[in-house]
Amino acid sequence: MKKVYFIAFFLFSILTTIIAQEKGTIIYGTDNCIESYTYAEQFLNFNLENNKLQICGKILANCCGTHEHEYEIYEDSIFLNRKDYESLCDCYCLYAIDIILDNCNSEFYKIKLSDYPTNSGLDTIIYKSQINKTETILQNKNIICYPNPAKEYTIIEIPETITAPYDLILYDNSGKMVRNTNNLKNTKLRLNREALPNGFYFFKITGSNSYISGKIVFY
């Protein structure tokens, strides 16, 4: 009987750690778009003060219909998901947003904005009392990387949104950093395998205010 109680308590503990502390929906973009899409830059600015997270900036949405952010707040993570619905059309533009989430009591939050058609989301960390942390959202989520899988090297094409000089960090499948290279300038980056064993690797290339990330397989 004690074993049954232990298993039940164990399962309850797991469930309480993965269930969101708070979730909801915020409508935004009710006004007319502020800027046509074309090559305009999207960005989000984060402020975490007094147990409140403010998210403001310019973000892409359909020119028509209603736009909303679904959010889920966990112990140290926040997930955001953009949605458009009702009478959508074939054009996109930028909307100003200003969202405030209460009850953000953690010392830091990992913030994940999901991908959206034609562009990536973002993945960042903000710490308590940190203000004016700005992240640029890339227009094109298709990272050009070839050959992939690769045997000896791969070429990563650096988009215009990444300004030189930029930095490269490479992680193995366990999350361990295996390479860190700074002050790179080439628009086509050759990543040599060197002594890396077979397996999956994840790269992050960071410019002054934006980044790209992707996956490479060496065999």
**Do the Cβ atoms of 84 and 118 come closer than 8 Å?**
no
Provide the pLDDT for residue 154.
Answer: 93
Task: Write b or e for each residue in 106-126: b if 16 or more Cβ atoms lie within 10 A of its Cβ, otherwise e.
Answer: beebebebeebeebbbbeeeb
Provide the pLDDT for residue 180.
Answer: 94
Provide the pLDDT for residue 192.
Answer: 96
For residue 107, give the nearest of 125, 122, 132, 134 by alpha carbon.
Answer: 125
Segment (H or E) for 98: strand 92-101
The total of other beta-carbon atoms located within 10 Å of residue 64's CB is 16
For every one of its 219 residues, what pLDDT tens digit does the chain have, with 9 covering 90 and above? 544 444 444 444 444 445 667 787 877 665 667 666 544 567 888 999 888 999 888 887 777 888 888 888 888 888 888 888 777 776 677 788 888 888 888 888 888 888 776 566 778 888 888 888 887 765 545 578 888 888 899 999 888 878 889 999 998 877 788 999 999 999 999 999 999 998 888 888 888 767 777 778 898
Provide the pLDDT for residue 14.
Answer: 41
Provide the pLDDT for residue 7.
Answer: 46
Provide the pLDDT for residue 9.
Answer: 41
pTM value is 0.54
Provide the pLDDT for residue 39.
Answer: 44
